[in-house]
Amino acid sequence: MIRLEKRKEPSKFWRIANPFLAVALTMFAGGVMFAMLGKDPIVAIRLIFFDPIFSETFASYSRPQLLIKSAPLILIAVGLAIGFKANVWNIGAEGQYIIGALFGAGVALAFFPAPGWYVFPLMVLAGALGGFLWAMIPAILKTRFNTNEILVSLLLVYVAERILAAMALGLMRNPDQPGFPGSRDLRRYEAAHNAELIANTGMHWGVVAAIIAVIFAYVMMTRHMLGFHVQLAGQAPRAARFGGVAPARLVVVCLGIAGALAGLAGMFEVSGPGGQVRIEFASGYGFTAIIVAFLGRLNPLGIVLAGFLLGLTYIGGELGQMMLQLPGAAIQVFQGMLLFFLLALDFQTNYRIRLTQGMRA
């Protein structure tokens, strides 16, 4: 007989080992999937995970892309992870990302074409503010009316997507090219351009922000009282209440931080790699960041690794589309599988498998 026995303490070994195991299993299952699609699995897996960095033909293009794709994922996931730890489920980061981008772009377009050093810093503030405000909707509804933050934050993604479309077609449309949807290209407006800081590295201000956010989150979670409250509320909500943690304040703080960071990510994207407010601007970073947060074990340093890995799959997915005519959605399946395997493997973090003799069950 096989029996599950709950561990007294979650296993430290499996906590660290499982993400790696999950990646290996996903590669294997992904290989099977590619084989079923009629592609050579070895070639496909290599193209997705190794070629973006090591291949001589692609690396010059894709190495800088690694930072460009990973930075928003890390920035968003760091914020989400704080909330997940406290059992505050913000799954609408995609919406906060969009609104942050719109706020940032709005400031830039309002100042256009004025030069001035102050434009970009104002955009940064606006981006963070936009994401923060959008996240405050579920936060306030949760604390004031006890409305489920999961549903509200997610439903607001669809609202944000429609606001984005309305902006791209209406208010923010480029007046010089009224025939085309989409705003002015911010990369051509020097004061607002989030340019590469070091040429051909992909290093832009968003990467800097991600690094700062990781350090900030790490210090907060390990050294600051707030981090302790977050962990306490997540693991022992009753004890937290007796210990003087105000649940309402925690909800606001968690959603606020996550929203502001997601908004920043959106703002850095629209003023740099994305370039303009377009209908197709949102590319699912807000959802992928959920996987990044879990894969990184809700730990800021783990999230950096996980962010690079999932950033890699984005680039690898693009290469796969170009070289092997892999469908773009294959990467989404890949990311979904990764989360499945991780969750499934985690049972051995919390439970021990015991093989028992005889019929005693």
Partner 1 sequence: MILGSINPAVLLAALMVAATPILLAAIGELVVEKAGVLNLGVEGMMIMGACVGFIVAVNTGSPIIGFFGAALGGVALSLLFALLTQALMTNQVASGLALTLFGLGLTALLGQRYVGITPPRTPKLDLGPLSDIPFLGRALFTHDIVVYLTIALVGAVWWFLKYSRAGMILRAVGENHDAAHALGYHVKRVRVLAIMFGGACAGLGGAYLSLIRVPQWTEGMTVGAGWIALALVVFASWRPWRAMAGAYLFGGVVVLQLNLQAAGVRIPVEYLSMSPYLITILVLVIISSGKGRSLNAPGSLNKPFHASS
* Residue whose CB is less far from partner 1, 125 or 155: 155
- Single out the segment in contact with partner 1 by CB under 8 A; choices: 74-82, 201-209, 228-236, 329-337: 329-337
One residue of 56, 117, 170, 357 binding partner 1 per CB under 8 A: 170
The CA dihedral of 286, 287, 292, 294, to the nearest 10 degrees, is: 120
How far, CA to CA in Å, does 87 sit from each of 39, 234, 237, 250, 327? 41, 5, 9, 10, 35
One residue of 14, 28, 228, 340 binding partner 1 per CB under 8 A: 340
Q: Which residues 25-54 are close enough to bind partner 1 by CB under 8 A? A: 37
115 near partner 1, rule: CB under 8 A: no
356 near partner 1, rule: CB under 8 A: no
One residue of 76, 107, 152, 213 binding partner 1 per CB under 8 A: 152
294 near partner 1, rule: CB under 8 A: yes
Residue 167 to residue 159: CA distance in whole angstroms: 12
Q: Which residues 88-107 are close enough to bind partner 1 by CB under 8 A? A: 89, 91
- Single out the segment in contact with partner 1 by CB under 8 A; choices: 42-50, 55-63, 122-130, 344-352: 344-352
One residue of 145, 242, 244, 355 binding partner 1 per CB under 8 A: 145
Question: Minimum distance between the CB of residue 212 and partner 1, rounded to whole angstroms?
Answer: 27
One residue of 1, 4, 110, 322 binding partner 1 per CB under 8 A: 4
Q: Which residues 298-327 are close enough to bind partner 1 by CB under 8 A? A: 327
- Single out the segment in contact with partner 1 by CB under 8 A; choices: 102-110, 121-129, 252-260, 337-345: 337-345
One residue of 343, 352, 354, 356 binding partner 1 per CB under 8 A: 343
Question: Minimum distance between the CB of residue 54 and partner 1, rounded to whole angstroms?
Answer: 26
Question: What's the per-residue H, E or C state across the chain?
Answer: CEEEEECCCCCHHHHHHHHHHHHHHHHHHHHHHHHHCCCCHHHHHHHHHCHHHHCHHHHHHHHHHHHHHHHHHHHHHHHHHHHHHCCCCCCCHHHHHHHHHHHHHHHHHHHCCCCCCCHHHHHHHHHHHHHHHHHHHHHHHHHHHCCCHHHHHHHHHHHHHHHHHHHHHCCCCCCCCCCCCCCCCHHHCHHHCCCCCECCCCECHHHHHHHHHHHHHHHHHHHCHHHHHHHHHHHCHHHHHHCCCCHHHHHHHHHHHHHHHHHHHHHHHHHCCCCCCCCCCCCCHHHHHHHHHHHCCCCHHHHHHHHHHHHHHHHHHHHHHHHHCCCCHHHHHHHHHHHHHHHHHCHHHHEEEEECCCCCC
Both tokens of 102, joined, read 């719109």
Question: Minimum distance between the CB of residue 184 and partner 1, rounded to whole angstroms?
Answer: 20
* Residue whose CB is less far from partner 1, 234 or 256: 234
159 near partner 1, rule: CB under 8 A: yes
151 near partner 1, rule: CB under 8 A: yes
Question: Minimum distance between the CB of residue 284 and partner 1, rounded to whole angstroms?
Answer: 9
One residue of 195, 223, 328, 352 binding partner 1 per CB under 8 A: 328
Residue 179 to residue 167: CA distance in whole angstroms: 15
353 near partner 1, rule: CB under 8 A: no
CA 6 to chain CA centroid, nearest Å: 32
Question: Minimum distance between the CB of residue 330 and partner 1, rounded to whole angstroms?
Answer: 6
Binding stretches for partner 1 (CB under 8 A): 4, 6, 37, 89, 91, 141, 144-148, 150-152, 154-159, 162-163, 165-166, 169-170, 287, 290-291, 294, 327-337, 339-340, 343-344, 346-347, 350-351
